[in-house]
């Protein structure tokens, strides 16, 4: 009797003939490669970006709740831990986006040759670093110029009940 | 009865083949929708990041007024719906890869339920801010 796991390795080509699927690489056996790292990183950043959506929902719900709740979430995001989480979320999102574009090119049938795979992998890493730093560079300079933010590490440090006042600038 | 073609062992029975048992037959849709949502998310995410940078340091009133602009309301809703749909599809692949046995159904339901609830929270919050905007 054959190993039942063999059943999982049988696939059908589009012309109906059967083929044996390749086995997944063993991480313990394979030498580290860039494409291996990028593949794992795409999944890890996707999961990380998913948890980051909690921040988005919290921000939106706080905005819908009222000025005090919105002030709380703005302070939390503006705290050192909040900024670290936001930076991590930005990094994960930018990488997942750049890596996702690479996957879309593959899906369209481009960039499969080994030198291409290596080159577009490096492009993904370079894009991630440059875009993340660019977003944070512009973001921090805008934030520093925002009202009240220059005096402390808290963005949007408005009074808890701003009914008519609107911050100047922008 | 298993049949053999060359050195490939086919373990599927002839009856199973006739009845069409096997794959769930919705794999292509899952794959395709994951790609479609990712393409939709490209411009939406860029718009969102640029918008958030513009909103840095904004108080509650400016936030409400920003969400209340019809274009922003619509794009925010589109962003949220595409994000949670794409997220749920992607996490499901991870669950299918690594979770076995009864835990598979539990984590699947948790994934779908959490993504659906988070999307609803976000949609209701956006709409509430949008309809609140004229009042403040």
pLDDT at A9 over 50: yes
Give residue-wise pLDDT tens across range A10-39: 888 888 888 888 877 677 778 888 988 999
Instruction: For residue A162, give the nearest of B60, B67, B129 by CB distance.
Output: B60
Structural domain includes residue B15: no
* Inter-chain CB proximity B11 and A6 less than 8 Å: yes
Mean pLDDT of chain B, nearest integer: 90
Structural domain includes residue B16: no
pLDDT at A152 over 70: no
**For B115, nearest residue in chain A (alpha carbons):** A50
Cβ atoms B80, B119 nearer than 8 A: yes
pLDDT at A151 over 70: no
* Inter-chain CB proximity A18 and B39 less than 8 Å: no
Q: How confident is the model at residue B4 (pLDDT cuts 50, 70, 90)?
A: low
* Inter-chain CB proximity A138 and B53 less than 8 Å: yes
> Which letter, b or e, does each residue of B13-23 get, where b requires 16 or more Cβ atoms within 10 Å of its Cβ?
eeeeeeeeeee
Show me where the domains of chain A are located. 26-151
pLDDT at A122 over 50: yes
Q: Taking the C-alpha atoms of A117, A120, A126 and A129 in order, what is their torsion angle to the nearest 10 degrees? A: -80
For residue A18, list its beta bridge partners.
Answer: A12
Residue A158's pLDDT is 42
Structural domain includes residue B19: no
Give residue-wise pLDDT tens across range A127-148: 999 999 999 999 999 998 876 5
* Inter-chain CB proximity A18 and B136 less than 8 Å: no
Helices vs. strands in chain A: H and E counts, helices first: 4, 2
Name every chain B residue with its beta carbon within 8 A of the beta carbon of A147. Answer: 57
Instruction: For residue B8, give the nearest of A18, A100, A149 by CB distance.
Output: A18
Measured CA to CA, the distance from residue A27 to residue A101 in angstroms comes to 25
Structural domain includes residue B67: yes
Residue A109's pLDDT is 93
Q: How confident is the model at residue A8 (pLDDT cuts 50, 70, 90)?
A: confident
Q: Indicate which CATH number applies to the domain containing B99.
A: 1.20.1300
* Inter-chain CB proximity B91 and A135 less than 8 Å: no
Mean pLDDT across B107-132: 97
Q: CB neighbours of B51 closer than 8 A, spacing ≥ 6?
A: B66, B72
Element (H, E) at B3: strand B3-5
Cβ atoms B72, B51 nearer than 8 A: yes
- Range of B113's domain? 26-135
Residue A48's pLDDT is 97
Share of chain A above pLDDT 90, in %: 62
* Inter-chain CB proximity B8 and A19 less than 8 Å: yes
Quick one: which of B88, B49, B125 has its CA closest to A138? B49
Q: How confident is the model at residue A167 (pLDDT cuts 50, 70, 90)?
A: very low
Mean pLDDT across A88-97: 97
Give me Rg for the CA atoms of chain A: 23
Neighbours of B27 (CB within 10 A): 9
Distance of residue A101 Cα from the nearest chain B Cα, in angstroms: 8
- When divided into structural domains, chain B yields a total of 1
Instruction: For residue A2, give the nearest of B9, B90, B125 by CB distance.
Output: B9
Mean pLDDT across B84-97: 96
In terms of DSSP H, where are the helices of B3-134?
14-19, 27-55, 60-68, 70-98, 102-132
* Inter-chain CB proximity B91 and A167 less than 8 Å: no
A25 to chain B, any CB pair closer than 8 A? The answer is no
CATH class of segment(s) A26-151: mainly alpha
ipTM of the complex: 0.85
Name every chain A residue with its beta carbon within 8 A of the beta carbon of B91. Answer: 46-47, 50
Half-sphere exposure of B29 (CA within 13 A, CB side): 5
Give residue-wise pLDDT tens across range B35-46: 999 999 999 999
Least confident interval from A25-29, A94-98, A122-126, B107-111: A25-29
């Amino acid at each position: 009797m054959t190993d039942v796991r063999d059943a999982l390795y049988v696939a059908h080509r589009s012309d109906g003939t059967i083929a044996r699927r390749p086995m997944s690489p063993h991480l313990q056996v394979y030498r580290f490669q860039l494409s291996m790292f990028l593949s794992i990183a795409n999944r890890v950043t996707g999961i990380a970006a998913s948890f980051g959506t909690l921040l988005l929902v919290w921000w939106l719900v706080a905005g819908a709740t009222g000025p005090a709740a919105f002030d709380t979430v703005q302070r939390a995001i503006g705290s050192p831990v909040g900024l670290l989480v936001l930076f991590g979320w930005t990094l994960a999102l930018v990488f997942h986006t750049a890596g996702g574009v690479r996957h879309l090119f593959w899906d369209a049938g481009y960039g499969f040759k080994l030198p291409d795979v290596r080159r577009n992998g490096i492009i993904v890493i370079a894009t991630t670093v440059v875009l993340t730093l660019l977003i944070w560079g512009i973001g921090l300079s805008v934030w520093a110029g925002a009202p009240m933010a220059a005096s402390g590490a808290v963005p949007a440090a408005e009074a808890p009940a701003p009914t008519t006042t609107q911050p100047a600038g922008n | 009865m298993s049949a053999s073609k060359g050195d490939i062992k086919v373990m599927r029975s002839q009856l199973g083949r006739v009845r069409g048992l096997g794959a769930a037959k919705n794999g292509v849709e899952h794959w395709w929708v994951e790609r479609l949502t990712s393409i939709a998310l490209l411009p939406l995410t860029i718009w969102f990041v640029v918008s958030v940078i513009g909103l840095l340091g904004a108080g509650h009133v400016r936030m409400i007024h920003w969400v209340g602009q019809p274009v922003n309301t619509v794009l925010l809703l589109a962003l949220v719906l595409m994000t949670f749909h794409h997220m749920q599809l992607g996490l499901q692949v991870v669950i299918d890869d690594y979770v076995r046995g009864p835990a598979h159904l539990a984590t699947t339901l948790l994934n779908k339920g959490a993504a659906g609830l988070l999307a609803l929270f976000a949609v209701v919050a956006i709409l509430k801010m949008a309809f609140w905007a004229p009042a403040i």
